[in-house]
């Protein structure tokens, strides 16, 4: 999973977008991954400053359970927010 962050002070709340390419799987698999990521990201919105967050799912996301996706999302968010603070 790859996460990109663009802080924007003009936004009132954070925005989240998802990129799930055909490399992840067929349409059913891609939509299932996107739904799980959307749910996981919604749980973490309170901890984010206003800005735009783009989550790109990599092919292993298709086989990962929600707990693994959540851990990966937390790790990616930690890295990207640490870099943006520096």
pLDDT in tens, 46-77: 888 888 889 999 999 999 999 999 999 999 98
The pTM assigned to this predicted structure is 0.84
Sheet holding 15-20, edge to edge: 2-7, 51-57, 15-20
Beta bridge partners of 80: none
Between CA 25 and CA 9 the distance in angstroms is 36
Does residue 18 register a pLDDT over 70? yes
3-state DSSP assignment of residue 2: strand
Helices (H), the chain: 27-44, 66-85
Between CA 69 and CA 25 the distance in angstroms is 16
pLDDT score at 86: 62
């Amino acid at each position: 999973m790859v996460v990109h962050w663009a802080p924007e002070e003009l936004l009132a709340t954070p925005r989240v977008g998802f990129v799930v390419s055909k490399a992840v799987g067929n349409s059913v698999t891609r939509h299932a991954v996107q739904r799980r990521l959307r749910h996981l990201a919604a749980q973490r919105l309170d901890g984010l400053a206003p800005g735009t967050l783009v989550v790109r799912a990599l092919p292993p996301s298709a086989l990962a359970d929600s707990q693994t996706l959540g851990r990966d999302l937390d790790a990616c968010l930690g890295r990207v927010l640490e870099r943006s603070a520096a």
